[in-house]
Structure 1
Amino acid sequence: MSTHRGLEFADQPREDYTIRWYDESDRSAVIELCNLVSSNCSEAWFSWKYEQLPYATHVPIIVAEKAGEIAAIRPYISLPLQLGEQTVPVAQLVDLIVHPDHRRQGLMTTLSRSLKTSCWNEFAATFTFATSAARDGILKMQNERWTDHDLGSFVKYERINNMAAFTGSDTSPSVRLGAAVATPVIKLSHHLQEHFFTVDPTIRVDRYEFVPVSTLSSLYAQAPPAGAHIRRDDDFYRWRFMEPGQEFVTYVASREETPLAAIVVGTKRSPDTPSTATLVEVLPSTGETALDGAFSSLLSHITSDFATYDHLCATGGALSHQLLSTYGFTRSDIFPLSKFTHSAYLLVCPLGRLASDSAAIERLTHEAGWATTLCVRSLG
């Protein structure tokens, strides 16, 4: 998939670099560059994420080239953002990579500025989930045409089944000892909690070894969240859950054959990292307490089915803090889990598609205005 769009340069780091759009001939070199930082960048993964994306007509990557070699890439994902009654196109910034031989040349800044300048009229905003260091760098790149807004940290919850799995040779002896002592205590706590779970006997939970797209789309359409969020439809779900290297199972809670709620769980096992079960999508995601009975039934099945995994990961919003706590989930930004995790911050930058809509910009940049989930967060 080629692109023939022009690129408006924000600036140039040095004369011997060329900033341009990705071309089909770059494919092998870009995949090789991606594999410098992640062994998971297979051809299938690259094709899924950038070539099969249903909301783009081109491969959404800007490259920096020097002497015929790819020095850096600034990819993004085109997505539909539901902002009140209107749907606007936005770009999620992901996977920025600079080759080690080309660092400290200003390429990160140049590529980011070139993207926002070139896509000014195409998108309503860019957004990204940044580390603390990346956040500081992005917030320094302000321009008279744009300003990045820090909407705070993306809060995750963890249910730890095996604390020892998160320690290694680089962990202090005291922390390793604490983790070894804590693990049996945690397992006992989970076991005791399970005896006090109360589930509604009128709710049936079905497990599917695939993602029932139409069921998810229907649950979303019945009760979309009020905050700014990536719009769900059949195209989104078909693409999202075709991710190579991930296995997805779906749990649906129903009463009298009517689906009430669903949770999609993504699983990943690797010999080098803790085994993970992630509650990728939770529907409906409105946070209505009236659905706690359905979600309780779902969580009861999920925590039981994945008890052998080192940890389960979720986020709040649709699932209340109280409900998650009942099933052994703890906020990852609070001690002791904060010792093992790193925060990610949601940064949003309005662009030209909203330049004349001050009310939409206010809603877009309000800290409490976004309804974010791991389904989008885990894209990059």
Structure 2
Amino acid sequence: MALETAEEYTVRWFDPADREPFLDLYTDTFGGGSDEWFQWKYVDTPRVAHVPILVATADGEFAGARAQVPFLMRAGDETALAMRFGDTMVHPDHRRHGVFSRLTERALDHYGEMPVQFCYNVPNDLSRSGFLKAGGEIVANLPSFYRVQQPGALAAGTDLPITIAARAAAPAVRAYLRGRDQLASVPEGVNVVEHAEIPVPLLARLYRRGRPSSVHAVRDEPFLEWRYHNPDWEYRAFSAGSGGRTDAAIVTGTRTDEDGVTTTHVVDVLPLASSDRRDTALRSLLAAITSAFRDSDLLAYCGTAIPRSLLAAHGFQSDGRLPLSQVTSPTKLVAYDVGDGDWSVGGVDVADPRGWALSDVELDAR
């Protein structure tokens, strides 16, 4: 039964008995959600020892939850613990009673007393206002790029005329992408390898070789071991180099959604920082990936580590320009200062959009 005001709800930390009602509400709210997924995302995380979920109850009844995912972030020469807000949900019987705001405020109050320097997330259009009301600030529009290999993927769930038009455009789109790939410059003498499993030690070494000064997640071995065990995604890793040296690597994640659309994300690119050898290897890696995933409906990338010119050479288009701007929503980064008022890490201003170097690694459970 719903209570009259938010103050009447009990907000507390997650208890093991909350697992089943959490998953039930998650499935009803977002779809999906399994016990194995929960164990991976919230229990096995290497950054904190507790399950970082706040729960709201009404007379003992599960009313809602706010879950956080911890990240060890680096900027400049410093590291800081940060929390990514996500999976906030309120049972339909308890909505419009301030439960969402109460959970958010409780999380910010708690982490303000802990060694957490900031929180962040990328809320959708429906929930963003609630996060901004709780003290969040939009600090950046994160660039996303899509290679649309099957136009019908963008029309999934829309009306019949749009779907028919998208299908009619498919042959022209495939011809266009073949042309882009044939014209893209691929360097000679670069060897591309697909790994049988995620090469965690290699990825960690490549990360250490070129770290940007802007805010990003630390890619050490414990984090990488955890990150690519999400049971809902299929991960593959590719590396490239020459002269007996590995110069760059890409990790992809693929999933088919409830509409039957298969999307392959370029989840991470290492090293994060540019160099001549890395950028040369990336040219071969992106060519290999567009070939390996030619049957996916969409290829997607969010971030700044891959040069825009290289993405364009292989037919990736920005979601900030037509035609994608008409069918996608921009990825708006919202950040929350929970520290002492000095909103910076390693001398990098967290409120400055140029101070972030995020990808799907930090943004979503892909």
Normalising by the residue count of structure 1, what TM-score does the alignment of the two structures yield? 0.90
**Contact 2:77–2:346 (CA<8 Å) still a contact in 1?**
no
The yes-or-no answer on 1:376 pairing with 2:362 is: yes
Report how far residue 84 of structure 1 moved. Answer: 1.4
Matching residue within 47, 53, 59 for 1:55: 47
Structure 1 residues 110-125: aligned runs within 5 Å: 110-122=102-114, 123-125=116-118
Distance in 2 of aligned mates of 1:83 and 1:110: 31
Distance 1:168 1:359, change over 3 A: closer
Question: Could you list the per-position Cα deviations for residues 301-347 of structure 1 after superposition, in whole angstroms to 9, with x for gaps in the alignment?
Answer: 11011111111011241111110000110012322122322222111
Structure-2 residue corresponding to 1:158:
146
**Contact 2:181–2:313 (CA<8 Å) still a contact in 1?**
no
Q: Select between 362-371 and 175-184 the one with higher mean Cα deviation.
A: 175-184
Gaps of 5+ in 1: 1-11, 143-147
Matching residue within 185, 204, 207 for 2:194: 207
Distance in 1 of aligned mates of 2:157 and 2:249: 39
Structure-1 residue corresponding to 2:82:
90
Report how far residue 28 of structure 1 moved. Answer: 1.2
Distance in 1 of aligned mates of 2:15 and 2:229: 24
Structure-2 residue corresponding to 1:3:
none
Structure 1 residues 322-341: aligned runs within 5 Å: 322-341=309-328
The yes-or-no answer on 1:185 pairing with 2:172 is: yes
Counterpart of 2:337, as a letter, is P
Distance in 1 of aligned mates of 2:158 and 2:287: 35
Q: CA RMSD in A?
A: 2.0
SS state at 1:224 partner? coil
Distance in 2 of aligned mates of 1:177 and 1:342: 23
Distance in 1 of aligned mates of 2:18 and 2:104: 19
Gaps of 5+ in 2: none
Distance in 2 of aligned mates of 1:165 and 1:149: 32
Distance 1:126 1:357, change over 3 A: closer
Q: Select between 133-142 and 194-203 the one with higher mean Cα deviation.
A: 133-142
Aligned pairs, how many? 362
Percent of aligned pairs with the same residue?
29
The yes-or-no answer on 1:140 pairing with 2:133 is: yes
Distance in 2 of aligned mates of 1:289 and 1:136: 42
Question: Could you list the per-position Cα deviations for residues 170-197 of structure 1 after superposition, in whole angstroms to 9, with x for gaps in the alignment?
Answer: 3362x33432232211100111222223
Distance in 2 of aligned mates of 1:358 and 1:189: 44
**Contact 2:66–2:86 (CA<8 Å) still a contact in 1?**
yes
Structure-1 residue corresponding to 2:91:
99
Q: Select between 289-298 and 118-127 the one with higher mean Cα deviation.
A: 289-298
Structure 1 residues 142-291: aligned runs within 5 Å: 142=135, 148-168=136-156, 170-171=158-159, 173=161, 175-270=162-257, 272-288=259-275, 291=278
Distance in 1 of aligned mates of 2:146 and 2:126: 23
Distance in 1 of aligned mates of 2:30 and 2:126: 19
**Contact 1:135–1:345 (CA<8 Å) still a contact in 2?**
no
Matching residue within 16, 20, 37 for 1:28: 20
Structure-2 residue corresponding to 1:8:
none
**Contact 1:94–1:379 (CA<8 Å) still a contact in 2?**
no
Distance in 2 of aligned mates of 1:232 and 1:256: 25
Report how far residue 139 of structure 1 moved. Answer: 1.9
SS state at 1:342 partner? coil
Report how far residue 371 of structure 1 moved. Answer: 0.3
Question: Could you list the per-position Cα deviations for residues 227-275 of structure 1 after superposition, in whole angstroms to 9, with x for gaps in the alignment?
Answer: 1111110011000000012111101002122110000011112462311
